Amino acid sequence: MGEAAEEQPSLSPEFAAEIDETEGDGSNSFPAVRYDVAPYRTYNFFRQFRTSSSNPNNFLKGVKWSPDGSCFLNCSDDNRLRVFSLPYDDSGSLVNVPDSAPDSDSYLANLVVSEGESVYDYCWYPYMSTTNPDSSVFASSTRDHPIHLWDANSGQLRCTYRAYDAMDEITAAFSIGFNPSGNKIYAGYNKTIRIFDVHRPGRDFGQHSTLVEKRQGQSGIISSIAFSPTDSGMLAAGSYNQTTAIYQEDNMELLYVLHGQEGGVTQVQFSKDGNYLYTGGRKDPYVICWDIRKTVDIVYKLYRSTESTNQRIQFDIEPHGRYLGTGGQDGLVHIYDLQTGEWVSSFQAALDTVNGVSFHPFLPMAATSSGHRRYGGLDDSQENNCLSGDENCVSVWSFYSSGDDTLSNDVVS
């Protein structure tokens, strides 16, 4: 199902050793995960997204685990952000929800935050921890609104970061991201990246034009931002003009621009070792792998069913950095081996478009979100009644480990 690798990516010896250590019998407590075996659904949520009569076909728009793994955040078309915490019992074990109630949610969201307009982007503070209330925050960007910083425990608005245009009117960021240090917010606008100091809310910001002299550089709306997880100080910015640019974080020097996406870039993400960059676009059936040490050629392309949607279809890399999962319009989550670029497996996550995939930061789990805009007849309530629990839903999946005794011979085969 995946396109064959055009060139085998050569991982650094350090990165390969890290994979062997974490997936072997070393001291790392994270088990070797069987991504070649379909996971089982642990929790499912759909009813609480269908409570509004004004938006009966409310669909999801992505999902993201918190950095500490205690909860996940999702966004929906009703302009609400919801936080779901994993349910633990007194002994510290995850609570299993009985399968006897397929028409109900596993449990309710711990927090619901309402925005005034459509949410463009959202992200967690990189050092978020539920044990430290000061760090338990996430940011969101909304149409015609400034960037909001929300308290993930109480839902209170901590502060705002406001950008203004030439008419001194507030302009909204299309993409946002905290830098690895967590002291700045980088926000994407039309041909512009603005930089806010986290500790200085308000209208003070640095501004960098993505177009340089003689209109060279990166044009269009900056739709996605990602930082290298290493200390290289590089950041990637995707644009709706089908390009991805690599900048130096400290001085915003443009290093190079990548061309090759068939649609506007909707997501960029670095590999765990920082040597590779993965980009995906709208109405583009491929996630592209780039070796940022050699940007002339594409390393390989990973297929997904996104040829006819303008939605942001999210992909994610699991904690070891070895596998990538991506959704698509076919309702499947495809798993790819990043060392070879080859397809590993797929599993049915929903009965409609899977637009969000997020791996837990240290547990063998993943969260998915699904849904798309439906254009029905005059009787919207009738269409809503046709939706099942596998449409417009958020699910949490648990993967099997290599030594899991619950794997039967039929499953393994």
The chain-wide mean pLDDT, for the chain, equals 87
Band of residue 53 on the pLDDT scale cut at 50, 70, 90: confident
For residue 200, what pLDDT is reported?
96
Q: Kindly report, residue by residue over 216-227, the tens digit of the pLDDT.
A: 889 999 999 999
When pLDDT is averaged across residues 175-204 and rounded to a whole number, the result is: 96
Identify which of 155, 200, 195, 192 has the alpha carbon closest to the alpha carbon of residue 177.
195
For residue 314, what pLDDT is reported?
96
Band of residue 306 on the pLDDT scale cut at 50, 70, 90: very high
Q: Which pair of structure tokens corresponds to residue 227?
A: 């930082």
State the Cα–Cα distance between residues 14 and 19, nearest whole angstrom: 9
Percent of the chain with pLDDT over 70: 86
Question: Is residue 406 pLDDT above 60, yes or no?
Answer: no
For residue 101, what pLDDT is reported?
62
For residue 9, what pLDDT is reported?
39
For residue 80, which phi and psi values (nearest 5 degrees)?
-120, 145
Q: Kindly report, residue by residue over 60-113, the tens digit of the pLDDT.
A: 999 999 999 999 999 999 999 999 999 998 888 888 876 546 688 999 999 999
The answer to whether 88 and 94 are in contact (CB under 8 A) is yes
Question: Is residue 391 pLDDT above 70, yes or no?
Answer: yes
Q: Which residue has the higher pLDDT, 404 or 392?
A: 392
When pLDDT is averaged across residues 286-308 and rounded to a whole number, the result is: 92
For residue 50, what pLDDT is reported?
87
The sign of the torsion formed by the CA atoms of 269, 296, 343, 339 equals negative
Cβ neighbours, 10 Å, residue 227? 22
Question: Is residue 26 pLDDT above 50, yes or no?
Answer: no
For residue 85, what pLDDT is reported?
96
* Cα dist from 207 to 120, 145, 185, 247, 251, whole Å: 20, 18, 12, 14, 11
When pLDDT is averaged across residues 130-145 and rounded to a whole number, the result is: 96
Tell which phi-psi region holds residue 389, choosing left (phi > 0), alpha (psi between -120 and 50) or beta. alpha
Is 307 strand, coil or helix? coil
For residue 407, what pLDDT is reported?
57
